Amino acid sequence: MITSLEQVRKFLGKQLQDPYGRTHGKLIGITANLRDETTAVGVETANGEFAQYPGEQLWINGETLTLVPAWKLDAEEFRKEFDIVTRRLKALDELFSVGDIQQDIYEDLRKQHEDGINELKEKRRTLLDALARRTGVLNAQLRELQTYLASNKMLHASGEFDDAGYRSASDEINTGLVRTSAERKDIEAITTYLVRLDPTTPIAISPHQETATPQSQPVATQAQTTTVQATTREPALVLHVKEK
């Protein structure tokens, strides 16, 4: 994603969020190249520290500047490259089968694209590892939020938390549960897609942990119980590389 300096500069002093609604901090600086493309942004985090993010992770949606996770960018890049190489190989084989391409030229072109397939295999392994690590982090966060929610319920029931404080804390926890579950669901979808490209590879994600929410928060329950099958519509694709 390439954003121009002109597009980004209007967000100086404003909050930077990720696609799930988490706030990363306030935008305090921008660097750009001679083509007026944003190359990086500086962000002051909530604890007063400084963080820098590459310009390609920025996405503008109306009046919101969004920081796209690196794993999401890598997954989208992989999808595009895989789609291109598979379509080209299919077209190449069809043209050769009807005699529209000479054999030596066909073999040279196919070898080039087979090399691309091998590169994509390595990208796929790296991406699966990164998704598995991120899933582990998210599962740990969900567990912590669940623990705080249960503890707050206990203290409220025992009379140690007043109603207002308990409701405020519960709302914040449930918001965190929804956001964390949404990211985990996205990761599960792309992981399923990557695994289905090679049925012999096991799904490298941690087991689900049930996410409890109060009865008064049905939206959180819905976000957590939605299955991956509802969002993953890619057909199973297995690419067979012709051996010479």
Tokens found for residue 108: 């040279």
Rounded CA gap, 196 and 138, in Å? 23
pLDDT of amino acid 1: 65
pLDDT of amino acid 190: 96
What radius of gyration do the chain's Cα atoms show?
23
pLDDT of amino acid 47: 86
pTM (two decimals): 0.76
Nearest to 138 by CA among 94, 188, 201: 188
Backbone angles phi, psi at 163, to 5 degrees: -65, -45
With b for 16 or more beta-carbon neighbours within 10 A and e for fewer, the 56-93 pattern comes to bbbbeeeeebbbbbebbebbeebeeebeebbeebeebe
22, 59, 178 from 184: Cα distances, Å: 14, 20, 10
Rounded CA gap, 24 and 17, in Å? 6
Residues of the chain with pLDDT under 50: 199-244
pLDDT of amino acid 61: 83
Q: What is the pLDDT of residues 178-215, one digit of tens each?
A: 999 999 999 999 999 999 986 444 444 433 433 333 33
87, 91, 92, 242 from 100: Cα distances, Å: 17, 11, 9, 19
Q: What is the CATH number of domain 5-68?
A: 2.30.30.240
Q: Give residue limits of the domains in the chain.
A: 5-68, 73-230
Contact between 139 and 209 under an 8 Å Cβ cutoff? The reply is: yes
DSSP state letter for 37: B
